[in-house]
């Protein structure tokens, strides 16, 4: 076993200067962490944007179809009124309300994107 005197001799042979990290190395480490965080944040944002874009096209198609259907319903409603066919008129009005709600809902969603 080494005596305290022997340990002091060994200790005295070791470099006496403390080795400290330079500010540049610390800053580089922080920048590396920030780069990784930015890459992760961008990855999530891009995934979300891609999901929204992929949902947008079917909504736009549905909006177009609903607007076209609404015009047909208005023409059919006018004809039903002129012919005095009340049962068809009631059914057309029911569909007209439903399609109008579809249009409003889709517009609201698309305006939020």
pLDDT of residue 94: 97
pLDDT at 75 over 70: yes
pLDDT at 105 over 90: yes
pLDDT of residue 14: 66
Q: What does the pLDDT look like over 19-60, one tens digit per residue? A: 555 666 667 778 888 888 888 888 888 888 898 889 899 999
pLDDT of residue 33: 86
- pTM to 2 decimals? 0.59
Query: Is the Cβ–Cβ distance between 73 and 96 less than 8 Å?
Result: yes
The whole-angstrom separation of Cα 49 and Cα 45 is: 6
pLDDT of residue 45: 86
pLDDT of residue 81: 94
CA dihedral of 97, 98, 104, 106, whole degrees rounded to 10: -160
pLDDT of residue 57: 92
């Amino acid at each position: 076993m080494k005596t305290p005197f022997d340990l002091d001799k060994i200790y005295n042979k070791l470099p006496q200067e403390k080795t400290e990290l330079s500010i540049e190395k610390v800053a580089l480490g922080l920048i590396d962490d920030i780069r990784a965080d930015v890459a992760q944040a961008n990855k999530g944002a891009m995934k979300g944007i891609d999901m929204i874009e992929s949902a947008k096209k079917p909504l736009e198609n549905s909006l177009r179809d609903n607007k076209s259907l609404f015009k047909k319903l208005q023409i059919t409603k006018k004809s039903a009124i002129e012919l005095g066919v009340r049962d068809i008129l009631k059914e057309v009005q029911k569909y007209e309300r439903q399609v109008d709600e579809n249009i409003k809902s889709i517009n609201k969603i698309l305006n939020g994107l």
